[in-house]
Amino acid sequence: MAQLLNEDYIPIAALNQYAYCPHRCWRMFCAGEYTDNAYTIEGTALHERVHTLSSNQREETWQVRAVWLKSDRYRLIGKSDLIEEANGQLYPVEYKRGKRGEWDNDELQVCAQALCLEEMTGQTIHQGYLYYAHSHQRQLVEMNADLRRTTLDTLQAVSALIETGTMPPAIYTPRCKGCSLYQQCLPQAVDKVSRYREA
Amino acid sequence: MNDQEEDMGTVYITQEDAYIGKTDERLTVRAERKSLLDVPFIKVDGVVVLGRATVSPAALNELLERQIPMSFMTSTGRYLGRLEPELTKNIFVRSAQWQAAGKPEKAVHIIRGFIRGKLKNYRSALLRAQRDYPELQLQTALSRLEQAIVPIDKTPEIDALRGLEGTGSAAYFGCFNQLIRVEGFHFATRCRRPPTDPVNSLLSFGYSLLRHDVQGALNIVGFDPYLGYLHVQRYGRASLALDLMEEFRPLVVDAVVLSVLNKRFLKPTDFTAEPLSQAVSLTPEGRRTFLRLYEQKKQSAFKHPVLGRKCTYQEAFEIQARLLSKYLLGQTQQYPPLVLK
Ligand code: SF4
């Protein structure tokens, strides 16, 4: 993921990391920490399967996998798992491990992909999908004004983060439990150190 | 090295002229046409080569690729150097580490932590021995240790702090012989390079192994292991690994050495002395025993006093390195050394 990082473009993946936890985004995209654990390894295996470049006709739907997406206007870059076209409409599909919608940050990623796709094709993208491997379910993501605004706001925050490198504080939340960077981050340590009395 | 347990942890290669290779995803060790070890890389967190060995380019590549550190020691356990996997890209940790070198308050705080940690752990070792064996004469050493601990937090000069560390260590090693509860072993004074008695040779060997482990943890967290605070001047070479080792010396190495001797895992016949230098080292069989027990100690669990959860010493090396990075990055107000009761 780190190799996507160049001075000019923001990796799309950084957006949903930021929405999940700004400190995590900093660790991954500013400090360059990325450790495989069960979650990410599983994620990679899934991605590898999806990312074998292919394009095929499946019934009436045209599909192309593992496409690089880029937007010069928003300085965004990333790879899409799958782009489909049905009834003349293009839309991105993003594969996720696990069940749907535990955190809503994945929608940002689909929206950012759609922004790139719009710029690349000149088409307006109205929708996208999140595919959850665990439940084999597709969830519709509507590119409404709200989601677009949230995505652009997040993009701005991530740009500022990457430009300045300023570390957002690690704040312990329920999300920390599922975070692959927990052992590096030790989000409870700050609190615990301040209360600690050495024997 | 022959026990192929489920979790390998650190692989120690003690066989002279072994050939370390890679077959598929596995690390293999051969010598004299015999296979000595065959273990998946995924189960290896470090490799320590004692004596001479050949490493295949494929194995080297794989070790670097997987960020598995490899240290080289002489067959007697003297630390020679290591193959260091690439540092993490966490430039923030390194930059904070360098900045603190120019900020006396931060450097002094860290040095105090390392010294307090070491001396307090010395103190608990002696207190425990005193409880277990009331007949021991440890009171003088204990009060001298206490006199070295008390002023640490009020002492602003680094050299004076080093002096306190020296006094405290001298008090501890002054009664170390009493902690050895078996016939046939005697400790007079700490001597290195080369150690000329079995107890010193075990201590030196253990500290070499500890250094491999602590330096690996520092590397994972993103530190530059060569810039230290306490050891800047003493060895003419900056070394954070030596600094962070301090609090772990009594907890890990001294504890293993004492239990190996007191539980009679090693006998005086497990040691040999070189004719001219009088340098004492373990026999190959004794070395395997010691390595096994050292590894066991590293994998043993205790409750981390700051985090309040169970961890092994192996994990604690990294936890302490992370706590140090939090202090340096300004996230915490203090660095808490690992002090165990
Ligand atoms: S452990 Fe928590 S605070 Fe730390 S990076 Fe993960 S989510 Fe963020």
d(CA B145, nearest CA chain A) in Å: 15
Contact (CB, 8 A) for B16 and B1 = no
What is the interface size between A and B, counted as CB pairs within 8 Å?
Answer: 68
Asked whether the beta carbons of residue A31 and residue B333 sit closer than 8 angstroms, the reply is no
Paired sense of beta strands B53-55 and B79-83, if any: unpaired
Ligand 1 centroid distance, CA of A34 (Å): 13
Alpha helices (H) along B66-103:
91-101
The residue to mutate among A182, A184, A188, A191, having the most atoms of ligand 1 within 8 angstroms of its beta carbon, is A182
User: Any idea what DSSP says for residue A42?
Assistant: H
Residue A49 neighbours by CB under 8 Å, 6+ apart: none
Q: Which two tokens mark A105?
A: 């940050």
For residue range B117-148, list pLDDT tens digits in order.
999 999 999 999 999 988 988 999 999 999 99
Asked whether the beta carbons of residue B322 and residue A189 sit closer than 8 angstroms, the reply is yes
Q: Model confidence at B20, in pLDDT bands (50, 70, 90)?
A: very high
Phi-psi region of A64 (alpha: psi -120 to 50; beta: other; left: phi over 0): beta
Q: Model confidence at A34, in pLDDT bands (50, 70, 90)?
A: low
Question: What pLDDT score does B7 carry?
Answer: 59
Q: Touching check for A184 and chain B: CB below 8 Å?
A: yes
| Paired residues of A92 in beta bridges | A83
Q: Is the pLDDT of residue A166 over 80?
A: yes
Contact (CB, 8 A) for B221 and B88 = yes
> Does residue A180 line the site of ligand 1, with CB under 6 A?
no
Contact (CB, 8 A) for B84 and B203 = no
Q: How many CB atoms lie within 10 A of CB B204?
A: 23
Q: Is the pLDDT of residue B89 over 60?
A: yes
| Phi, psi of B319, deg, nearest 5 | -60, -45
Locate tokens 């702090």: which residue?
Answer: B161
> Least CA distance to A166: which residue of chain B?
B92
Locate tokens 């923001």: which residue?
Answer: A10
Asked whether the beta carbons of residue B89 and residue A193 sit closer than 8 angstroms, the reply is no
Q: Is the pLDDT of residue B235 over 70?
A: no
Q: Is the pLDDT of residue B291 over 60?
A: yes
Give one DSSP letter per residue of B114-181, joined into a string: HHHHHHHHHHHHHHHHHHH-TTS--HHHHHHHHHHHGGGGG---HHHHHHHHHHHHHHHHHTHHHH--
d(CA B269, CA B282): 9
For residue B341, the chain A residues in CB contact (below 8 A) are: 199
For residue A167, the chain B residues in CB contact (below 8 A) are: 92, 329
For residue A33, the chain B residues in CB contact (below 8 A) are: 88-90, 222
Contact (CB, 8 A) for A120 and A85 = no
d(CA A36, nearest CA chain B) in Å: 11
Amino acid present at A38: A
> Rounded mean pLDDT of B43-58?
90
d(CA A15, CA A110): 10
**If you average pLDDT over every residue of chain B, what do you get?**
87
Asked whether the beta carbons of residue B120 and residue A192 sit closer than 8 angstroms, the reply is no
Q: Is the pLDDT of residue B114 over 80?
A: yes
Asked whether the beta carbons of residue A196 and residue B305 sit closer than 8 angstroms, the reply is yes
Ligand 1 atom nearest to A176, measured from its CA:
2
Higher pLDDT, A60 or B201: B201
> Rounded mean pLDDT of B184-213?
86
Question: What pLDDT score does B1 carry?
Answer: 42
For residue A189, the chain B residues in CB contact (below 8 A) are: 306-307, 322-323, 326, 332
For residue B93, the chain A residues in CB contact (below 8 A) are: 31
Give one DSSP letter per residue of B272-334, joined into a string: EE-TTT--EEE-HHHHHHHHHHHHHHHT-EEE-TTT-SEEEHHHHHHHHHHHHHHHHTTSSS-
Ligand 1 centroid distance, CA of A174 (Å): 9
For residue B319, the chain A residues in CB contact (below 8 A) are: 186
Whose CA is closest to atom 3 on ligand 1? Answer: A170
User: Helix, strand, or coil here: A63?
Assistant: strand
Asked whether the beta carbons of residue B333 and residue A33 sit closer than 8 angstroms, the reply is no
Amino acid present at A189: A
For residue range B305-334, list pLDDT tens digits in order.
999 999 999 999 999 999 999 999 888 889
Q: Which two tokens mark B88?
A: 């993490």
For chain B, the residues whose C-beta falls within 8 A of a C-beta of chain A are 88-93, 116, 120, 221-222, 305-308, 318-319, 322-323, 326, 329, 331-334, 336-337, 339-341
d(CA A105, nearest CA chain B) in Å: 25
Asked whether the beta carbons of residue B336 and residue A33 sit closer than 8 angstroms, the reply is no
Question: What pLDDT score does A102 carry?
Answer: 61
d(CA B307, CA B317): 14
ipTM: 0.71
Residue B264: alpha-carbon gap to chain centroid: 22
CB-side neighbour CA atoms (13 Å) of A101? 6
d(CA B327, CA B114): 13
Cα dist from A155 to A9, A77, B326, whole Å: 11, 11, 28
User: Helix, strand, or coil here: B18?
Assistant: strand
Higher pLDDT, A68 or B5: A68
Helix axes B104-132, B313-328, angle to 10 degrees: 150
Ligand 1 atom nearest to A171, measured from its CA:
3
Higher pLDDT, B100 or B237: B100
Q: Which two tokens mark B313?
A: 């010493």
Cα dist from A180 to A21, A38, A43, A177, B97, whole Å: 12, 8, 11, 8, 25
- Which residue of A193, A195, A197 is the best one to mutate when testing the B interface, meaning the one whose CB has the most B CBs within 10 A? A193
Contact (CB, 8 A) for B148 and B171 = yes
Amino acid present at A136: H
Across the interface, of A33, A170, A194, the residue whose CB is closest to B90 is A33
